[in-house]
Structure 1
Amino acid sequence: MSTLPALIIIDMQQGMSWPAPDVRNNLGAEAVIAALLAEWRQRGAPIVHVRHISRTPGSPFWPGQLGVEFQPALQPLPHEHVVEKNVPDAFVHSGLERWLHVRGIDRIVIVGVSTNNSVESTARSGGNLGFKTFVIADACFAFKGQDHDGVPRTAQEVHAMALANLHGEYATVLTSAEWLSLSHQAH
């Protein structure tokens, strides 16, 4: 039996790779996610792939669109659990909480996109539902945007603020190197 928590990979769909590199941060996130996925697979630990299915016609994540498909390097294996969601939070109307509880899983590690949207909302729910929740900072990314005051914010600023919102209150935020060191000590 694995000592690793469930790895929850959020929205690593083809449509997430389409925006230009200058509108997002952490261009190495996909490689970090792939390395973590390989680690979980090698150790036989639970993996959950989350896919966003949009309710907005014309969205790249509308059913049947190429954007909704998983990125080839992060494709789920047949025995890995896939959760489909229609809102940012992967726990809402998805059965994820029950799937974890039925398997006795009380710890989760969250990676994916975007840090301030689906990652943050899922981590908040995970923490609120009583799961020991970890977010891997370098295995997530965000997109630039404007704050509520209309001030333009870089993708890194959006990413860093979302992680700050989570750390200590809902989750423990670590780098992949910190996580791997911690998980190998426990193993």
Structure 2
Amino acid sequence: MEIEENAALVVVDVQRGFEEEDYWGPRNNPGADRNIAELIDAWQSSGRPVVFVRHDSPKPDSPLRTGYAGNAFKEYVEERRGKDAGSELFLTKSVNSAFYGTPGLDAWLREAGVRQIVVAGIQTNMCAETTARMGGNLGYEVFFPLDATYTFDEVGPWGWKLSADELSRATAVTLHGGGFASVVRTAELVAAAV
């Protein structure tokens, strides 16, 4: 795996509101936060750009709504922000894809000559997957460290239920099989970013 010197890490929605288990239900991958922190550290220490994405939910009962404590980044992310303003972007969004945020992610990446992105964060099968898919559609080489994401059990149509692990596997198969992204592990990316 070759990671370019300007490959961007896109950290999607790592917010306190996702800790509210009563709202979201059971989650998977308890090591995800450690892996996300490790990726941020590797990217910052190598001077590569990091994009911090915050979801500002328009839903009045959402733990991610603006003005609510859950809208803030998790502490370990907040502690890592602002280390290199020249190679860091903070954007907000109210939909699934980070490419529909403010300021515009695609324009920022293209202006910096970025061709590779790494997408990590929450939720695996929602905003992280949507951002990865769109990145692939826009022509970026996308890496998706599955172990640096997590999601929650979900109920769909007709009462169908999938566990967080099943949803994560479905995302990995869809991204990989569909050619949207290379699904990898955090350790592989950290080793390649040295």
Residue from 27, 39, 43 that aligns with 1:40: 43
Q: Unpaired runs of 5+ in structure 2?
A: none
Aligned length: 183
How far apart are 1:178 and its partner, in Å?
2.1
How far apart are 1:152 and its partner, in Å?
1.9
* 2:92 pairs with 1:84: yes
Residue type matched to 1:11 in 2? D
8 Å CA contact 1:88–1:121 kept in 2: the answer is yes
Determine what percentage of the aligned residue pairs are the same residue.
Answer: 36
Q: Which has the higher helix share?
A: 2
Aligned to 2:14: 12
8 Å CA contact 1:4–1:40 kept in 2: the answer is no
Residue from 169, 178, 184 that aligns with 1:174: 184
Secondary structure of 1:138 counterpart? helix
Q: Deviations over 1:56-91 (max 9, x none)?
A: 223222211101101110112262311100101110
After superposition, residues 1-187 of structure 1 pair within 5 angstroms as 3-19=5-21, 23-75=26-78, 76-77=81-82, 79=85, 80-94=88-102, 95-168=104-177, 169-184=179-194
Secondary structure of 1:167 counterpart? helix
Aligned-pair Cα RMSD in Å: 1.8
Distance 2:50 2:37 in 1: 12
User: TM-score normalized by structure 2?
Assistant: 0.88
How far apart are 1:99 and its partner, in Å?
0.6
Q: Unpaired runs of 5+ in structure 1?
A: none
Secondary structure of 2:51 counterpart? strand
Distance 1:128 1:85 in 2: 19
8 Å CA contact 2:43–2:193 kept in 1: the answer is no
